[in-house]
Structure 1
Amino acid sequence: MVATPAPPVEVPVNESPAAPTAPTLPPTGAATTWVNIFGDTGWCGSPVMASLARLMTDLGGDVFLAGDLAYPNGTLEEFRRCFDPELGRFRSRFWAAPGNHDYQTAGAAGYFTYFGERAGPDRSGYYAIGSSTWQVLMLNSNVANGRNSVQIEWVRQQLRSSTARCTLAVMHHPFDSSGPNGPNPQQRDLWDVMYSLGVDVVVTGHDHLYERHAPQDANQRPDPVRGIRLFIAGTGGAPPYGRARAAGNSEVLITGHGLLRLKLEPALYEWEFRNVNGAVLDRGLNICH
């Protein structure tokens, strides 16, 4: 059985209100920390969630979820039946961003009810996690993200006021992809703001594969000095996709399930992609801007 890629669901801003002064959540802790990231999970009947649960037990660290977390429609019943049995035990380690399948239920009500404060302090779907050396923005790529949108203004304020050297953003839809859902020009305004204000790394899901891109600017041109490095980690259990096209900045593409690990250090980040058996299939490091 192969899942049909779903297009982004555009949700009016007034369905997910949030002021630009939305609160920042407590610091993640130590100056150096490993975090785990994946999306496109909660697929009933898939053995992948049990494998990911074993892997997360062994690895430790917070878990950032990149959307589409209960298939097919993000109902509360699907979260309880398809996500919770294997992954619910890690809820205290989760920070979630919503995907388009989560919005198949009006207002992503199942998603927000299930995750509660682990989906942010309100139901906007975006929020910040701060620490002394890294700022983490959990973003909502399902809502309007035009240049003057509420979320983009909030992102501007967060980035301008941050004292952290390094910034990671997690959301569902990738700006570009070699899978069937790339490129996504509707993300350009958001990427322009993130690029101009120094975001280092963006991690997404949506395409059910792992892909690492070289740092790029908001016009998808290579920029090894100030560019944003994009990772796609839609590898959490939904049926995998293969390569559909060749994204211009793609460096590595892996078809299969697993999770991305990022080591957030004071002035750099390391990455590794582990499959469900724990084998490291991709790794590297980069200095922050």
Structure 2
Amino acid sequence: MKIQKLKRYTCIAILFGFCSINESVMLSSAYPWNTIEKGPYLQNVGKDHITIMWETAYATKSRVDYGITEDCDLFVEYAKKVKLHEVTLRPLRSNTRYYYKISCGFTTRTGSFKTAPNHNIPFRFAVYGDSRAYPDIHRKVAENILKVNPDFILHVGDLVNDGRKDYQWDSQFFEPLHDVIDHIPIFTSLGNHENNAQNYFDLFSLPNNESWYSFNYSNCHFIVLDTNKSYGKNSKQYRWLRDDLRKTNTKWKFVFFHHPPYGSGIHHGSDLKVRRLLTPLFRRYGVDIVFSGHHHIYERSYPIGSAFESKTTPVTYIIAGGGSGPLHKTSPNTWTASTEKINNFCVVNIDGEKLNFKALDTNGRVLDRFTIVKDKGKYQQYVKRAIPYEQIEFERTFPNNITPPVVFLKKGKRLVQGAVKIKNTFPYLVDVRIVWHHLNDWNLKPRQRIVRIGGKKTARIPFTFYSPKLNDIWPPPKFSVIYDTGLGSGRIAGNYLQILLPRELSCNETKTPLELDGRLKEPFWADASSANNFIQSDGSGLAQKQTIAKVVRSQDAIYFALVNESEPKNLSANVKKRDGNIKNDEAVIVSIAPHNDATSGSLHSKEDEIVYQFGVNYKGVQYDSKGKHKEWNGKWKSKTRINDEDWTVEMAIPYNVLELPSPPKNGRRWRINFFRSTRRPVEKSEWSTTIGSPLTAKRLGVLTMN
């Protein structure tokens, strides 16, 4: 309990002796209009103590009558009048059923609880989380938890949708659990939706600082963490966790927090920071199961251990985030033993050296089950099913360490050289086979190669490509990388030969003024050369929705017109203010490097490298930047128009915006490119392939002034 809690007070039970019926009636009738608004609910159960909490409409004394029979012949009372009541009963007998009652006005609530057992007594606990959205579903989960009758419940966070809003605690949490937590204690952990609100710390009575804490129950140790707060190696929480694990020698160890280090829900993915910082401690200090939420799914991992660490044990990771939040789609990973998009909760039975686990849905159907036995021989069977975390990390990072070959197709040149680069960031050997396929009109030698890459080494695997005619180069060849680490094997597909094309465009001069209306009605547009055959930005082939770009110049400005293929019903844009991220809208962007003289192909100063960008979405919202400076704004004009089969845009960019002292002379060559994004279909395309470097001037096409 935090010191700053002013609304509630803890009362330690002192044996007052027998409480007469008359005393109870006098206490209740003193405030006949008062009512119990919340609770009672049970907190922080131990072998010799438990805390009972409830909330009343008006401030009144805190009193609990209790005993080992329903007569409740003992009581504890605190004279301070409060609305939120917290009474800790101590000392109590271990593994004993107690009865209790609280009174408020003419209302009396009764309940019972069982104290924690001594070492090695069998017991059962339930786990679930993410109960924040739909109270009716949460109520069904609670009803099914009640049927399995656990000794206590652990909640892995996101109890409500917004912990700062008082009313949500009633409707989303306490009301659905009303018939459960008056006789089954509940331990909770903080999710991101609690927002670290004071309501959480007021409403619950938990050990330590209530953000992270631990407790023993029978032959088990339970640790609850807060992954919303700092848990880096120098943080208080990390040091506390490490010290707590070091001094714990119970048969079973369980850890609970909100953000999963291994998660297959596509809405969030795995929390890689948790994985990097906390999972080594779990392996080192013998944690058996880690429970999380955040993903509104059920998922269980295979045991995850290490192929190289000594004196570590594998850990099973479970996501029990189906308490009632909107369900998420799931996509199984290497570590996934079982997963399902469904509302769920988990039940764990502990009996000495044996653990039985079940995951159930809201109809009581068993979704998954497994057993761990700590008997030496049988535990080894569990260990043999483990996946090395090193293999999981290799599979996660390896695709990003493959660099496709880049070839520059010059006019008249059919034979080009390129190489696949593969970096092995791990300390062990990796065998790799590269196989080319979907060649279309291309040819290459060899079509496959096998290499062995040493630990922490990079391999360069060369190939010779024979290109078809420029009109037939799309789509480019694909290649797959088949690998074997000795720990596991796999295949990575979907890589393409990256092609740089000699894109060139001419720019005529006109003396006819441009009327910006998006109609392209001026005669000079018909005579302007066109930039077409836009390519998907990932280099996979021609764009599904094509764009035609044209450019002309006057003595004052350079003009652009873009015709963008799309039906009006497919147009979509979210950005409404200038300089927003229109790259995810239906939009176009013109990139210009006017200080780069493409004739010599050299850059003479930092100024030469500047790429100006001018963009507009179909609604007419502008975007511009100077190099990486997105805050830069130039004075230029644009106008869009929506037509039956496309939308068009005209732009007029004065030379002074490009920081040019005079109009470009005939023969002057700029670098230029055109980018297009669509949302239906989702696609990004460009005229000159930049291979992820849109602000690198030498990757842009060439614009020649006629």
CA-to-aligned-CA distance 1:230-285 (integer Å, 9 cap, x gap): 00000101111111x43220010111112111112322321101110111121111
Distance 1:132 1:261, change over 3 A: closer
Match among 305, 323, 330 for residue 217 of structure 1: 305
Equivalent residue in structure 2 for 1:75, among 165, 173, 193: 165
Please state whether the residue corresponding to 1:35 is helix, strand or coil.
strand
Q: Structure 2 vs 1, CA of residues 60 and 266 (structure 1 numbering), >3 Å: closer, same or farther? A: same
> What is the rounded CA distance, in whole Å, between the counterparts of 2:128 and 2:180 in structure 1?
14
Q: Equivalent residue for 1:229?
A: 316
With over 3 angstroms needed to count, the CA separation of the structure-2 counterparts of 1:132 and 1:50, relative to structure 1, is: closer
In the alignment, is residue 52 of structure 1 matched against residue 52 of structure 2? no
The 1:241/1:235 distance shift into structure 2, 3 A limit, reads same
User: 1:217: Cα distance to partner?
Assistant: 3.4
What is the 5 A alignment of 1:30-179?
A: 31-44=121-134, 46-61=135-150, 62-91=152-181, 92-103=184-195, 107-114=196-203, 116-117=204-205, 119-123=206-210, 125-179=211-265
Matches of 1:151 and 1:175, distance apart in 2:
17
Aligned equivalent of 1:286: 372
Counterpart-to-counterpart distance in 2, 1:120 and 1:90: 21
Higher strand content, 1 or 2 = 2
- The one-letter code matched in structure 2 to 1:270 is N
CA distance in 1, matches of 2:256, 2:154: 7
Q: Could you report, residue by residue, the CA deviation over 1:108-164 in whole angstroms, capped at 9, with x for unpaired residues? A: 3222222x21x43434x1111203411011111111111222111111121111120
Report the Cα offset of residue 70 of structure 1: 0.4
Change (3 A) 1:89 1:36: same
Letter in 2 for 1:87: L
For the 8 Å contact 1:102–1:111, the answer to whether it is kept is yes
Contact 2:298 2:339 in 1 (8 A): yes
Q: How far apart, CA to CA, are the structure 2 residues paired with 1:137 and 1:194?
A: 11
Measured at CA, do residues 132 and 59 of structure 1 come closer, stay the same or move farther in structure 2, by a change above 3 Å? closer
**Does structure 1 residue 186 correspond to structure 2 residue 273?**
yes
Using CA pairs below 8 Å that are at least 6 residues apart, which structure has the higher relative contact order? 1
Q: CA deviation at 1:74?
A: 5.0
Number of the residue aligned with 1:11: none
Match of 1:26 in 2: 46
Asked if the contact 2:137–2:323 (Cα under 8 Å) also holds between the matched residues in 1, the reply is yes
Distance change >3 Å, CA 148–CA 267, structure 1 → 2: farther
Unpaired segments ≥5 residues, structure 2 = 1-43, 48-115, 380-706
Q: Deviations over 1:74-100 (max 9, x none)?
A: 533211222111114433520001100
- CA distance in structure 1 between the aligned counterparts of 2:158 and 2:326, rounded to whole angstroms: 13
Query: Are 1:97 and 1:172, in contact at CA under 8 Å, matched by a contact in 2?
Result: yes
Q: Is the 8 A contact 2:322 2:342 kept in 1?
A: yes
Distance in 2 separating the partners of 1:171 and 1:192: 16
Q: Secondary structure at the match of 1:29?
A: coil
Task: Work out the CA distance in 2 between the residues paired with 1:41 and 1:29.
Answer: 29
Measured in 1, the distance between the counterparts of 2:174 and 2:45 equals 24
- Quote the residue 1:242 is aligned against: 329
Q: Distance in 2 between matches of 1:273 and 1:246?
A: 17
- The TM-score, its normalising length taken from structure 2, stands at 0.34
State the partner residue of 1:196. Answer: 284
Secondary structure of the corresponding residue to residue 87 of structure 1: coil
Looking at secondary structure, tell me which structure has more helix per residue.
1
Higher-Rg structure is 2
In structure 1, the residue matched to 2:342 is 256
CA RMSD, 1 decimal = 2.3
SS at match of 1:77: helix
Aligned letter for 1:205? G
Question: Is the 1:211–1:232 contact (alpha carbons within 8 Å) kept by the matching residues of 2?
Answer: yes
Unaligned runs of 5+ in 1: 1-23
Indicate how the Cα distance of structure 1 residues 132 and 157 shifts in structure 2: closer, same or farther if over 3 A, else same: farther
Q: Which amino acid aligns with 1:80?
A: D
Say which is worse superposed, 147-156 or 88-97, in terms of deviation: 88-97
Contact 1:192/1:218, CA 8 A, preserved across alignment:
no
CA distance in 1, matches of 2:329, 2:132: 20
Measured after TM superposition, the shift of residue 218 of structure 1 is: 7.5
In structure 2, distance between residues paired with 1:218 and 1:80: 44
Partners in 1 of 2:359 and 2:164 — Cα distance? 26
1:205 CA drift (Å): 0.5
How far the C-alpha of 1:25 sits from its partner, in A, is: 6.9
